[in-house]
Amino acid sequence: MDAFRSKKQRLREDLRQARSRISISFDLWTSPNPCAVLGVIAMWIGTAGKRQTTVLGIRRVYGEHTGENIGSVILELLREYDVGGDQIGYFMLDNASSNDTAVEFILKELCPWMTPKQRRHRRLRCLGHIINLCCQAFLMGRDCERYLAKLEKHYQRGDYAKVEELWKRFGCLGRLHNLVRYIRPTPQRRGEFTTIIVGGDLAEFDRL
């Protein structure tokens, strides 16, 4: 515990001495146990002029996944590290509407002088998440969200037979997914796959 407290104090000092504002990214997911877990990342420019990125915390979230509830967990964490409103930069998050509310909640508490427009300006949207949503919609069609919810439920239950069956409904894409998922888990399967593929008809791609 002493080592943890020492490193936490060092991080607190690094954040205090940041040469830029401190930007925040966070995401909420369900662990295999299953528990609602919130991961919070901080990004800033350090005293040496280099970009710094660190995990501020991984916290369990109790109750509803509302923006206010998520925001209160993050606010508590920021206060643990003495990060004040004048230090806060931007929030880079996915498109969930609860994230809009969470950022609004945090900034109202830390930066009461901000106007609604200024608070909205600090909320950025993750391009990677947007592209991922577009690809899912393109590949899975209109029922994308329903299928993803079913897949998540089966994954959480460990019912991989149903996961494979559901993926098969997507035709070639689903079968390719199941093939990759079968090959990747063990080095033996990867090795056998390499033996079959390398030097074959697709040898021009061996170095990719």
pLDDT tens-digit profile of 95-118? 888 999 999 999 999 999 999 999
* pLDDT value of position 166: 81
For residue 44, the enclosing domain spans 2-125
Which of 91, 125, 159 is the endpoint of a domain? 125
In the chain, the number of structural domains is 2
* pLDDT value of position 206: 58
**Range of weakest confidence among 51-55, 64-68, 70-74, 161-165:** 161-165
* pLDDT value of position 124: 95
Confidence of residue 1 (pLDDT cuts 50, 70, 90): confident
The residues, any chain, with a CB within 8 Å of residue 189's CB and separated by 6 or more, are 182, 183
Which of 62, 90, 125 is the endpoint of a domain? 125
CA distance 71 to 163: 33
DSSP 33: S
- Percentage of the chain exceeding pLDDT 70: 95
CA distance 178 to 114: 50
Per the rule left: phi > 0, alpha: psi between -120 and 50, beta: everything else, 64 is: beta
**Claim to verify: residue 170 and residue 98 sit in the same structural domain:** no
Give the pTM: 0.70
Q: Which two tokens stand for residue 136?
A: 């899912």
